[in-house]
Amino acid sequence: MKSQGVAISMVYPILKTVVQKGFDSEQFCNYASFDGSLLQDVEARISGEELERLTIAAAHFTKDTHFGLHQGQIMEFADMGILGYVMMHSQTVVDALAAYQRYNVLLCSGFNLDWDVDGEDVRISMFLQHPGQGQMSRHCIEDMASSLFRLIGRLSNRVIPLLEVAFRHEATVDVTPYQPVFGRIPRFAANSNYLRFSKDVLQYPVLYSDAKLLSIFENIAQETRQELTQASRFTEQVIQWIRSCMPSYFPSLQQTADFLQMSSRTLQHKLKEENTTYNDLSIQVRKELAMGYLRKWEFSVGDIAYVLHFSEPSAFQNAFKKWTGLTPGQYRATIQSGQMRVNG
């Protein structure tokens, strides 16, 4: 998918941090040669490179060598706009993370996260790179790690003990500021950027969850995402095709290529241009359908495995646990407890 840039609202956390440190936001805009009038256009978007430039400029302006780290500490759901409200009213932490994956384009196209369950732990990896360019600045990745860790704690209203935090960049001269933020010193010069903690965190219910508000905010998020991605609709076309085939059959790459009247090689190339693969889209559709079916109590796990074209229920259960860190039964249990909490 081609980049739609970064929502202008992402500049506000930078300005908020600058002001909190006792500096004047207008003076900073002048220092950074940033046109503050852009903030008056709620639909304006800037490039990822520009956001990075402003973050680095703010670090120099405030003389805070850990500006990104500290900016993440004051991140609020309201700073994330409609995406923040979808996350805040999701039922569990893993639902909130999935919402971020789905709607991250609303904030910053090309900046995303993913998670992988390994034994008793879950590792959330953060991808903060401009397509075709090198790694982003230390301030930007530390901002995301710091804010993500903070927001997960706020979602669950629990203290989340971090087992590990790792960054690709080299360590700073002074590493002591990381201790109060993460509860530990990160591992630097790692192969990727990630947070690691107990997989149980994924199951934690969200404190503010409200099913009715979630429905309202998610509808808005879906409409906004559709508007932003109109210029790059091939991926959505493939997704809609896969969905339309279900539950009759689960289309293969070749069947999809035939439907779109192109070779499978051309299909793969077009998806690669939009930074995805047919396998990734197939998993996405199955995962979203599975979560929807599991919210309908009349469907058994075996029924869902059948309509999603898994060879057997155990194959579906293994796949769902790999996607979410939960078994289908555990996922349903979190939904039920969340509904009871809202109704109560």
Burial 156-184 (b: 16+ CB within 10 A, else e): beeebebeebbbbbeeeeeeebbeebbee
Q: What is the pLDDT of residue 3?
A: 45
pLDDT (tens digit per residue) in 146-196? 999 999 999 999 999 999 999 999 999 999 999 999 999 999 999 989 999
Length of the chain: 344
Is residue 145 within 8 A of residue 37, CB to CB? The reply is no
The pTM (predicted TM-score) of the whole model is 0.67
The two tokens of residue 70 are 């500290």
Q: What is the pLDDT of residue 325?
A: 83
- In this structure, the number of other CB atoms found within 10 A of the CB of residue 34 comes to 19
Range 54-58 average pLDDT: 94
On the question of pLDDT at 131 being above 50, the answer is: no
Q: How confident is the model at residue 35 (pLDDT cuts 50, 70, 90)?
A: confident
The two tokens of residue 194 are 């990630």
pLDDT (tens digit per residue) in 182-225? 999 999 999 989 999 999 999 999 998 999 999 999 999 998 88
Candidates 211, 238, 223; CA nearest to 106 is 223
C-alpha distances in angstroms, 197 versus 100, 150, 321?
Answer: 19, 13, 17
Q: What angle do CA 83, 89, 90 make, to 5 degrees?
A: 90
Whole-number percent of the chain with pLDDT over 90:
58
Q: How confident is the model at residue 343 (pLDDT cuts 50, 70, 90)?
A: very low
Q: Which residues pair with 46 in a beta bridge?
A: 6
Q: How confident is the model at residue 135 (pLDDT cuts 50, 70, 90)?
A: low
- Alpha-carbon Rg for the chain in angstroms: 21
Q: What is the pLDDT of residue 243?
A: 87
Is residue 253 within 8 A of residue 259, CB to CB? The reply is no
The amino acid at 327 = T
Is residue 115 within 8 A of residue 326, CB to CB? The reply is no
Range 310-322 average pLDDT: 92
User: Among 56-70, 128-142, 259-273, 325-339, where is mean pLDDT lowest?
Assistant: 128-142
Range 71-77 average pLDDT: 94
d(CA 148, CA 171): 20
Look at the block and give the residue holding tokens 């010069």.
189
Look at the block and give the residue holding tokens 């509860």.
183
On the question of pLDDT at 315 being above 90, the answer is: yes
d(CA 85, CA 168): 30
The DSSP string of 210-275 is: -HHHHHHHHHHHHHHHHHHTTT--HHHHHHHHHHHHTTT----HHHHHHHTTS-HHHHHHHHHHTT
Q: What is the pLDDT of residue 132?
A: 40
